[in-house]
Amino acid sequence: MKKLGSLAAMLLLVAGLGACGGGGADSSTTVTTTTVGQQLTDLKKALDAGAISQSEYETQRRKILNQ
């Protein structure tokens, strides 16, 4: 009977330690670079699709060109 109690205590200890794995969170970073030409193309598409106004287009276009 004493062996059974020891075995149960060992199982609880192992199970408890197995749960302390640090959360298992993965971390990653993604860096994306876009060329000025691609930014201007995307901006023009947004204008043509009606997502932005002509004045917003001009403002953003100037910002891109002045980078």
Q: Residue 27 — pLDDT band, cuts 50, 70, 90?
A: confident
Cα-based torsion angle of the residue sequence 44, 48, 49, 53 in order, rounded to the nearest 10 degrees: 80
Helix (H, G, I), strand (E, B) or coil at 33: coil
State the DSSP H helix or E strand holding residue 23, giving kind and residue range, or none if neither: none
pLDDT tens for residues 32-59? 789 999 999 999 999 999 999 999 999 9
Distance between CA atoms of 60 and 66, rounded to whole angstroms? 10
How far is residue 24's CA from residue 31's CA, in Å, rounded to a whole number? Answer: 23
